[in-house]
């Protein structure tokens, strides 16, 4: 398809065109990247959307929660796009991309679009082109964009820099509240949800929510007048999902009341610009023929003990 055909299809809400457009922006081929940038510069979304980042430790039930939340939103008349990110193998570069199979019911709904993508070595729990994928989904008419990240870690700040609301799922009875999540992550959370609050674990979940709430009093708040909100849910039984979404809406309304919603999005665009520049600089440094030859010479010198890695790095940078 040409860029014009992709653009027309995406803005008409055609899923096949949207999928092809995301494939184009995820491609590492230089020619594809030129076409992708042309496409991104032309897409337009007239509607106001909500972008939610959803993170949590492996096994916390992110996919089950997203399926329950997505189904709720579709029943409310909204269109939902899920950008699910799978870690890439450091050995082969491949990914299983199994999130779609774990959201079987949601993926069968016409109002839902689920796109699993590999991280391809990108830190921050998101795929390299998640931002562009969000813009394409919004242009295709989706009201809510849910970004499921790889998992909680100190590099998870990347997802918080591209969404309106950052939601983290935790397990009940996972230990001391201050040990449950790292301080860096706690400082960027907007909503903390204890999942699997059913059966014998319901009391544990409520206790965990109280413990986390007490722990957050020790931290400087992310927004001065907008406190972190807490919820307990059972994704399997779909209990507490609607209350959690109400907390997301309440948070978004608070952002708008404090004139932070648009300013946060503008700041995210500036972060996106910086990241794109950094990625392109790195790509050009390592991919030119001259630099590849120079790098190989310095690698050989380091291996033979002729030069230290730090000295080699400085000389390489001066040379290029």
pLDDT at 175 exceeding the cut of 70: no
pLDDT at residue 9 tops 70 = yes
What pLDDT, on a 0 to 100 scale, did the predictor assign at position 13?
92
> Could you give the CA distance from residue 248 to residue 70 in angstroms, rounded to a whole number?
13
Which residue, 78, 77, 81, is CA-closest to 148? Answer: 81
Q: What is the pLDDT averaged over residues 154-170?
A: 81
Q: Is the pLDDT of residue 178 over 70?
A: no
Q: Region 94-118: what's the mean pLDDT?
A: 73
- Please state, in angstroms and as integers, the Cα–Cα distance from residue 82 to each residue in 55, 134, 144, 203, 259, following that order: 13, 9, 8, 31, 27
Query: How confident is the model at residue 89, as a pLDDT?
Result: 41
Residue-range domain boundaries for the chain: 1-44, 45-258, 272-319
Cβ atoms 54, 169 nearer than 8 A: yes
In percent, the amount of the chain with pLDDT more than 90 equals: 50
Q: Yes or no: is domain 45-258 CATH 3.40.50.300?
A: yes
State pLDDT tens for residues 58-71.
Answer: 888 898 999 999 99
- How confident is the prediction for the chain on average, in pLDDT? 84
pLDDT at residue 214 above 90? Answer: no
**Average pLDDT of span 40-49:** 85
Task: Give 149's pLDDT tier (boundaries 50, 70, 90).
Answer: confident
Asked: is 1-44 a CATH 1.20.5.170 domain? The reply is: yes
| Confidence bin at 128 (pLDDT 50/70/90) | low
**Res. 127 pLDDT band, cuts 50 70 90:** very low
Q: Which residue has the higher pLDDT, 226 or 151?
A: 226
């Amino acid at each position: 398809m040409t860029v014009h055909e992709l653009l027309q299809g995406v803005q008409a809400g055609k899923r096949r065109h949207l999928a092809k457009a995301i494939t184009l922006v995820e491609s590492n081929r230089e020619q594809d990247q030129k076409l992708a940038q042309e496409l991104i510069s032309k897409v337009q979304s007239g509607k106001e959307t909500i972008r939610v980042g959803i993170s949590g430790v492996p096994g916390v039930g992110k996919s089950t929660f997203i399926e329950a939340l997505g189904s709720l939103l579709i029943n409310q008349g909204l269109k939902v796009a899920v950008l699910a990110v799978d870690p890439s193998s450091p050995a082969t570069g491949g990914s299983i991309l199994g999130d779609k199979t774990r959201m079987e019911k949601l993926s069968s709904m016409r109002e839902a679009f689920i796109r699993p993508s590999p991280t391809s070595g990108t830190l921050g729990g998101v795929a390299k082109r998640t931002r562009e994928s969000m813009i394409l989904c919004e242009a295709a008419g989706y009201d809510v964009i849910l970004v499921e990240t790889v998992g909680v870690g100190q590099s998870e700040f990347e997802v918080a820099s591209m969404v309106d609301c950052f939601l983290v799922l935790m397990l009940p009875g996972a230990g001391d509240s201050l040990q449950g999540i790292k301080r860096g992550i706690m400082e960027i959370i907007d909503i903390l949800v204890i999942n699997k609050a059913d059966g014998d674990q319901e009391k544990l979940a409520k206790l965990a929510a109280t413990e986390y709430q007490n722990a957050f009093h020790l931290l400087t708040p992310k927004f001065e007048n907008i406190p972190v909100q807490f919820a307990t849910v059972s994704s399997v039984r779909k209990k507490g999902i609607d209350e959690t979404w109400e907390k997301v809406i309440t948070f978004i309304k608070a952002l708008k009341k404090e004139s932070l919603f648009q300013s946060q999005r503008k700041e995210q665009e500036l972060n996106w610009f910086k990241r794109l520049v950094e990625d392109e600089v790195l790509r050009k440094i390592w991919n030119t023929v001259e630099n590849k030859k120079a790098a190989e010479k310095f690698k050989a010198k380091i291996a033979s003990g002729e030069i230290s890695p730090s000295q080699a790095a400085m000389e390489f940078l001066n040379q290029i």
